[in-house]
Every structure is written in structure tokens, then in C-alpha cells.
Amino acid sequence: MGNFFKTGDVTIQWFGHASFKIKTSDIVMYIDPYAGTIGNYSEKADLVLVSHEHYDHCDDTKINAAKKEDTKIIASKNAAIKLANFDFNIKTMLPGESATVKGIEISTIPAYNISKNFHPKNACGVGFIFTVSGVKIYFAGDTDLTPEMKNLATQNIDIALLPIGGTYTMDGNEAGEAANAIKAKIVIPMHYGSLPGLEMNAEKFMERTGDSVKVIILKLE
């Protein structure tokens, strides 16, 4: 399968870590651009989503490479502050907000740690939920399994992009529980194997999900 998954008109390409390119016949999106990934950001973006301000999710050089005159950056509060000095068209979204941008309905839920201090809830990090070409996608951001995430079972998520690396986010056990709770049709693991402390094996994560969860493991090329 390589580093991309295609369903209908939607192609999801993994650049490593938590960075993705999502493309349809109508729109090009990037999520959490990061200089440490292998992806090519040269195709100009309509939308760039930034879940929080940490360097491995919010890289101005990659955003600049992807942006065109009318590119819209959707950013968490602290990410927007970090990017404020650059020539970016930024819309700040707080947890629990919704907006329609470039014709795409986007909502956010909190993304935070419960038993660690890397991503406190008051830092206003977010996960994104959006629909493109009829496919509803949830990008979790850097998070543990939260009560807000468990409530997504009623949202009819088609594809969930979940961190599994542990240390800074959910580990494989917790992410497996999250996958079962969200009830997404497809889960794609992310945020592992790229930095020290993120050695979780994606195949082992699959063992922790129920039979009703289809796991797609994208491989970097």
C-alpha cells in the first residue's frame, strides 16, 4: 500500500510522524507539517491544519512551502500565536468550535494528556473533524484517550488518524481502546517510529483493536 490510502475521491498520504496530505479532486490539505518528515509539500494547499504549536507539528518552513495566495491556515490558539509573525492567513480555532472554511466543515475537540504534562488541557490543543468528498475524517492530534474522544462514537467517523507511540500521547494499548470507542470504519496509526520514545510497533497496535475496526498501516517509501 505504501504511504497512501485511497477511498473514492479521497487520497490520504502519510509523510511520517503526524503529518498528512489529504487530496480530493477539489481540495489539497496538509495536517501538522513538520520538517522532520519525508513528505513533499510543493503542491500548493487550499487548507493547512495545525493541531498545536510544538515544533514537530507546526513548522513554518513547510507551511510556507505549501501555501499560495489564498491558502487558509486553521490553527489552535498557541499555534496561531507561534505563526503570527509570518505572512499566513490564519484562522484560530479553540476546542469545541466549528467553522466552514473553503467549503469544508471543520470542528475541533480538545487534545490533551491526562496522566502526563506534555499537552495540558489549558494549552488548547485540538483534534480536527472534517468531511471531504463525503468521507468524515478525525485527526486526533497529540492526545491521550479523553472523555471527548469517547463521545465520537455517535459521529459516524469514517477514518480516524490516531497517535500510538506513547511517551507524549496514547500508547498502543490506549490507542486500541480509543479505536474501539470511536467506532470509526478505518483507523490509520500515526505519531510513532519517528522520534526517540515513539517505538510502538503498528502491527502490535492492530492486536489491540477489535474485529470491527479495520486498521490501515501506511508505510513510508
Domain boundaries, the chain: 4-215
Q: Which pTM was predicted?
A: 0.95
User: How many angstroms separate the CA atoms of 112 and 114, rounded?
Assistant: 7
Decide if pLDDT at 1 tops 80.
no
Q: Out of 3.60.15.10, 3.30.470.20, 3.40.50.740, 3.30.700.30, which CATH number does the structure's domain 4-215 have?
A: 3.60.15.10
Q: Which residue matches cell numbers 476546542?
A: 95
- Is the pLDDT at 201 greater than 80? The verdict is no
All three cell numbers of 158, joined, read 469514517
How would residue 197 be classed by pLDDT, with cut points 50, 70 and 90?
Answer: low
CA distance 12 to 24: 9
> Pairing between strand 98-101 and 104-110?
antiparallel
- The model's pLDDT over 87-128, given as tens digits with 9 standing for 90+, comes to 999 999 999 999 999 999 999 999 999 989 999 999 999 999
